[in-house]
Structures are given as structure tokens and as C-alpha cells.
């Protein structure tokens, strides 16, 4: 029997890894053998995961709290699972899913069932990530339709903008002169002037 390791991942530095750590500590994994990444699971290019991969050797045992702690990309999870179990020859236990315990069912049927469960869970994890992105996109679009502004707020226009804008619109002054009198760059003046023109046309 080799060494026992644990892997923990949270998506950002602000998120807490306490729940995952507690689960691993309850099965008495040595603290020095628990590797923690605070990084997105979009790929496996994470410093602590790469360090863990260098440490793992045949007959070692790796625990993770749930399958999405390994990663979020369906194909990459399956590929890493293959590398870990087939190439490195280690066992993996997913605590939230007892069926994903490669120590059990080493026969053909057990391996088959484990692979099927893994593919289903990996697909569900990635599908949920896509659904979250879609809901975020829909929420942003709905907010924009309500008039919610995203990004940095616009700087207020100078008090004389309306008068200078009308002079520029009537071609009494050039755009460069209008921008200078408004203390704006030419690009900013033209952009705000076009927005003002658009507001006027909507109200006609």
C-alpha cells in the first residue's frame, strides 16, 4: 500500500476550503499530504495539482470531496482520471460518490460501472457550469434592457456641452473646436455627441 493524499480546490482566493479540508481530515490524511489550489477548474494547469501529480506513484491513494473539485471540463476530467488510474496506477476515492472508489470492483464489471458513473457525473458537472454561464448572460441582458449600466460610470458632461453640441450640429464650429471648449478629447466629444443625437432621434 502506498501513501494517501487529498486534493482540495476552490475557484477563488476568497472562497473557503474548510468543508473539503474537514472531510479529508476526518479520514486522517496527513496535513502534509493535502494539496490545495485556489484557482478555477477550467483546466489542470494549477500549481498544487501539478506538484501532487509529480508526487503520486503506483499504489498511492487519492481522495477528493467531489468530482468537480478535480475540474469542470468533461473531457479533461476523464483524461486526468485515465492518467491517474491507468498510467500512474493509483486509486481514487470521491467521497461524495461512493461508487467512484477504484479500490472496489477491480474486475471488468466493477471498472465498467465506475467508468459509466464517472462519465455521467463529469457531464453533469460541465453541463451545470454551462447553465450557470447561460443564466448569467441572460441576467446581464435583462438588466441592460432595464437600463442597468455595466462597467465604469460615464464622466459627467460639462455644463456648456448642450450649447456647444448645438453649435457643432449647426456646423458653426468644428468638432475639434467643440472638443477643446468642452475640455474633452475629440474622440470623446464625437462619441457623446453621437449618443446625444441617438437620444434625440428616439424621442422624436
| Tens-digit pLDDT profile for residues 8-40 | 998 888 788 899 999 999 999 999 999 999 988
Nearest partner of 93 among 80, 108, 82, 103, judged by Cα: 103
Query: Is the pTM value of this prediction over 0.85?
Result: no
d(C-alpha 29, C-alpha 7), whole Å: 10
d(C-alpha 169, C-alpha 151), whole Å: 29
Which residues are annotated as catalytic? 11
d(C-alpha 121, C-alpha 148), whole Å: 37
| Positive or negative torsion for Cα 27, 17, 98, 51 | negative
d(C-alpha 20, C-alpha 2), whole Å: 22
| Tens-digit pLDDT profile for residues 123-166 | 776 676 677 778 778 777 777 777 666 656 666 788 888 888 88
Amino acid at each position: 500500500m502506498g501513501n494517501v493524499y487529498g486534493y482540495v480546490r476552490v475557484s477563488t482566493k476568497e472562497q473557503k476550503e474548510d468543508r473539503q479540508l474537514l472531510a479529508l481530515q476526518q479520514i486522517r490524511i496527513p496535513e502534509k499530504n493535502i494539496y490545495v489550489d485556489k484557482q478555477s477548474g477550467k483546466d489542470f494547469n494549477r500549481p498544487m495539482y501539478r506538484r501532487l501529480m509529480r508526487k503520486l506513484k503506483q499504489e498511492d491513494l487519492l481522495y477528493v470531496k467531489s468530482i468537480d473539485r478535480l475540474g469542470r471540463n468533461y473531457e479533461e476530467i476523464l483524461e486526468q482520471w485515465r492518467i491517474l488510474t491507468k498510467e500512474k496506477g493509483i486509486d481514487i476515492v470521491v467521497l461524495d460518490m461512493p461508487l467512484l472508489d477504484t479500490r472496489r470492483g477491480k474486475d471488468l464489471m466493477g471498472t465498467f460501472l465506475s467508468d459509466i458513473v464517472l462519465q455521467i457525473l463529469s457531464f453533469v458537472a460541465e453541463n451545470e457550469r454551462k447553465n450557470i454561464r447561460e443564466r448569467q448572460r441572460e441576467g446581464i441582458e435583462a438588466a441592460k434592457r432595464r437600463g442597468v449600466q455595466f462597467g465604469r460610470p460615464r464622466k459627467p458632461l460639462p455644463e456648456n456641452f448642450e450649447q456647444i453640441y448645438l453649435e457643432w450640429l449647426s456646423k458653426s464650429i468644428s468638432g475639434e473646436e467643440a472638443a477643446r471648449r468642452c475640455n474633452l478629447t475629440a474622440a470623446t466629444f464625437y462619441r457623446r455627441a453621437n449618443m446625444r443625437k441617438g437620444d434625440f432621434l428616439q424621442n422624436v
